[in-house]
Amino acid sequence: MDDLDKALIGHLRTDARQSVATLARKLRVARTTVQSRLDRLETSGAIAGYTVKLGAEALRPLIRASVLVGIEPRSQAAILSRLRAMPEIERAFTTSGRFDLLLQVAAESTTALDAVLDAVGGLPGVRLSESLIHLTTRIDRAQ
């Protein structure tokens, strides 16, 4: 990946809806150059896709929580398989320390969140869990 690729990705991270012509003008290269670079970056996997980042207004109805999960040895694969089937689980991270997984959960109500937390805690192989309900976002640098 050269400087032009990095600049192209930087512009797309700011606004992925920019046209090829707009990107070419900003980068001071031909449209065909931008298009071929995009094709190559997509084919190589450097660009895995394009998405929408929802603003606070669209996210407001959801209640989010981080859930720390301790699991029994050799249970991770089965637990992750069950977590994938739960649409409220947005992300799952492995961690070091006392807990084995960190889950990002989103639900439409406290009742729905409570049901998800009960379901996670009731999975075979889950030793313990601790949930932290998100209140106010103070910093958000997620891309």
pLDDT for position 121 = 96
What token pair was written down for 77? 């694969």
**Domain definitions of the chain by residue range:** 3-44, 56-133
CATH number of the domain at 56-133, please? 3.30.70.920
Q: What is the mean pLDDT of each run of 10 residues along the chain (143 residues)?
A: 90 89 94 94 90 71 93 94 95 95 95 96 96 90 66
Torsion of CA 65, 68, 72, 76, to 10 degrees: 60
pLDDT for position 55 = 74
pLDDT for position 59 = 64
pLDDT for position 68 = 98
Q: DSSP secondary structure string, 34-48?
A: HHHHHHHHHHHTSS-
Top-tier CATH class for 3-44: mainly alpha
